[in-house]
Every structure is written in C-alpha cells, then in structure tokens.
Amino acid sequence: MISVFLLLGPAPAALAAENGTGLYPLGYRVFLPGVMPEAGVYFRNDFYWYSASANAVVIENEVTVNGDIRAFADFVNLSLVFPAAKLIGADYGIVLAVPVVYSKISGDVDIAGVISDKGQSHTSGGGDMLFTPVSLGWHWGKLHFMAALSMYFPTGEYHKNTDITIGKNRFALDPNIAFTWFDPELGYEASAALGYTMNQANRTTQYKSGDEIHLDFTLAKYFKNGVAAGCGGYYYQQVTADRGNGALLGPSKGRVIALGPIVSYNTKVKGHDISLSFKYFREFDSKDRWSGNAFYLTSIIEF
C-alpha cells in the first residue's frame, strides 16, 4: 500500500501572511501521512483547485478589499526512500517538489480609505521549490511516525509591483511530524500531520510574514476492493504577527478550519503500486485570511 509520505509542495492556500497565501498547501497530507513507504522511487502529482474570498489582503504594498481568488496548481513531487539506510533506527528518505500555478485575483485597491482601482489580474508560472533533505520514519506495529525538515526556496516567478505573483520571494523552514494508526485487519486509519512554518522576510517589500502552524487530520475506512473513504480536514493558525514596512494591515494573525470528504483507490499495475485520491475541503471559522473551497486530485506511482 502506498502512503502519502512527506510529499509536501508550495501552494496558494493560506491570508494574514503576505499576499494572503502561505507556502504549505493546507490539506495536502491526508491518507497515511505517518507511514514511510518501502524503499524505492515515488512520483506524485497533485492537481489542486482553490476558490476563495477575503475582506482585505495586502498584495505588493497595496490593500485589496472585497477580493476573490481562483487558483489552479499542478504539484510535481519526486521522493526517494533509500534501501537499507537507517538513521537513529528510522528509515530515511528525501523529497523534491516543484509546482506550476495559474492564479487570478479580483478586487478593489484601497489607498487611505479611498477605492483607487477596480479590476482583476491573472498570472501563471513556476512556483517556489520545496526540498526535504531529511525525512525519517519509524514503525511500531499499528502505529507509524515520521519526522522531517522541509525547506522552501524562493525560486518561483516573482515580479515587484504587480497585482498578483506566483513566487513568495521568501525562504522558509518547515519542521514537521506525522503519526498514523492503521489497523490493516479492521481497515481503519487515524492520522495527523503537524508542521511549523518559519517564514523569512521578503526583502523586496519589507514584509515579514508571521510563523504558522498547520495541522492536517484524517479518519478513514479501507475496504478489501482497494477503496478507502473517510473525512479529512485541516487547522491553520498564525502564531506570530506579520510585521515590517509592508504590513499595511498591522499585526494580523490568520486562522482557518476546514473539513470534507476524502476518497482513494489503491491497486497494482505490472507490479507497481498506484494510488489515486480525491479530496474536498470546505473552509470555515476564518479570520484574517482567504476562506473558500479546496479540491485535490492526486496520483502516486511507485517505480
């Protein structure tokens, strides 16, 4: 059975942070996030669609009010679990992820309380690269645990003084852990994946996005025909406030919760494990950030 592993990838999904977006795609790590797969090479592809609105968000040193965003991303992830490699008793793997993003935003530009511009903008291009040089997995019967250190690099397309941009133009560290309790006989899973994103400043705009906690969680039932179904969700909380000359909305701290149905199908084709999954999340209890709907269509292939 394929696990989701730590195939993280940047995406437009989080608001109090600059541009109303964070680097970690909320809801990404459901279905066995704490299970390190067997040694091998794994390719994962995620088609991601996000539709949301916000009362106000800072975009390139301007406050956009009554904003709407539509974003589509394709995350390409490659992970390697080393054979016979052990580090402090754990299996060892690495991950590289690169997204391609199309995004459109509309709203009103507010300068000193006066609406100065109305309209919409769109852009597309490569996003910020993620690299996880250390990913460790332990197994204790039905309980599985993973710990990793992920790094986001500002390699994405970025243009100053534009209404919308793909790259965040900031480096970030994301130490993260995940656990999974899975009973293969009964076919039940309970999982949670927790990360702490430490954002560096965007030196171009002098905007320092606050640190963020993101928690994905899963309850699922596995059937003998390879289908699994359940409920997943995420919790996001910004724990330190935005600051810097570009933080025009003051020391904001974003928050959101989401829930939704999740379905997967696992099979083998010519000896290769293949997993397909669909996830839908409806966001609520949002504060100081975008709030809307997120969809994932994911495929994982073991080579």
Query: Which of 135, 157, 131 has its CA nearest to residue 144?
Result: 135
C-alpha to C-alpha distance for 300 and 303, rounded to whole angstroms: 10
Q: Is 22 left (phi over 0), alpha (psi -120 to 50) or beta?
A: beta
pTM for this predicted structure: 0.84
Q: Which of 39-48, 65-74, 197-206, 252-261: highest mean pLDDT? A: 39-48
| pLDDT tens per residue, range 177-194 | 999 999 999 999 999 999
- The C-alpha angle 220, 294, 53, rounded to 5 degrees, equals 145
C-alpha to C-alpha distance for 294 and 262, rounded to whole angstroms: 12
Q: Over 60: is that where the pLDDT of 117 sits?
A: no
| pLDDT tens per residue, range 223-268 | 999 999 999 999 999 998 887 665 555 556 788 999 999 999 999 9
User: What are the Cα distances from residue 7, in Å, to 3, 116, 234, 251, 284?
Assistant: 10, 42, 16, 32, 26
What DSSP string describes 251-299? S---EEEEEEEEEEEEEEETTEEEEEEEEEEEEEEEESS-EEEEEEEEE
Query: Which of 114, 11, 1, 57 has its CA nearest to residue 286?
Result: 57
Pair 118, 108: CB distance under 8 Å: yes
pLDDT at residue 18, rounded to an integer: 58
Least confidently predicted of 1-5, 53-57, 185-189 = 1-5
- Output DSSP code: residue 39: S
C-alpha to C-alpha distance for 278 and 300, rounded to whole angstroms: 12
B/e letters for 116-153, b = 16+ CB within 10 Å, e = fewer, are eeeeeeebebebbbbebebbbbbeeeeebbbbbebebe
For the chain, which domains are there? 40-302 (2.40.160.40)
Pair 210, 241: CB distance under 8 Å: yes
Residue written as token pair 């993101």: 214
| N- to C-terminal Cα separation, the chain | 13
Q: What is the pLDDT confidence band of residue 67, given thresholds at 50, 70 and 90?
A: low
Least confidently predicted of 10-14, 93-97, 114-118, 250-254 = 10-14
